[in-house]
Amino acid sequence: MDARRPLDIYLVRHGEAAASWGEAPDPGLSDLGRQQAGAVADQLLHRVGADVLLISSPLQRAIETAVPLSRALQQRVREEAAFREIPSPVPLAQRQVWLRQFMQQQWHEQPPDLEAWRNLALQRLLQLGRSAVVFTHFLVINAVVGRVLDRPQTLCFWPANGSITHLRHGGSGLELVALGRELQSQVN
């Protein structure tokens, strides 16, 4: 990274999924989610240059959200496991209950594997050599923003589907430029 030029990093929450987190392990996008993905591409085309990195969680809803911007920029999207959804320690049918409990807790209450998950996402962002758009998930964005703002809560804000959170890497660490659009409903 050029120490004189800060890197812009955009964390995009995937579009609306075709099924909830407790219903399917890896759903794609709903019709609304595909519309949100198109809107994300339209917004980011005015913010990013042709040399921006496109990175996605390996989960289908994030990959599908990346497609419109990838096509517009004629660039490949690199999948990175560091940006996948939080690992759930419970079976699919119990995920939503576990998630609601998790979102009311603080990071010091979490087991080492979840802290490692959070640290990996943050490390990868700090290692980026150029500006990037990262297509990811609600709790990844919360984990990163919480660390950047030095907040102990697992849930700092409610990024809406298709929202864009803007970070900047100036060489010594990440700073928050702007939170993405928020919602006040359940995570899907």
Give me the domains of the chain, ranges plus CATH numbers. 7-178 (3.40.50.1240)
Residue 188 has pLDDT above 60, yes or no: no
pTM for the full predicted model: 0.94
Q: What is the pLDDT of residue 121?
A: 98
Q: What is the mean pLDDT of the chain?
A: 93
Element (H, E) at 8: strand 7-13
Q: What is the pLDDT of residue 3?
A: 53
CA torsion 117-91-85-81 (nearest 10°) is 70
Angstrom distances, CA of residue 20 to CA of 1, 29, 51, 104, 153: 38, 11, 34, 19, 23
Residue with tokens 């990013």, as numbered in its chain: 48
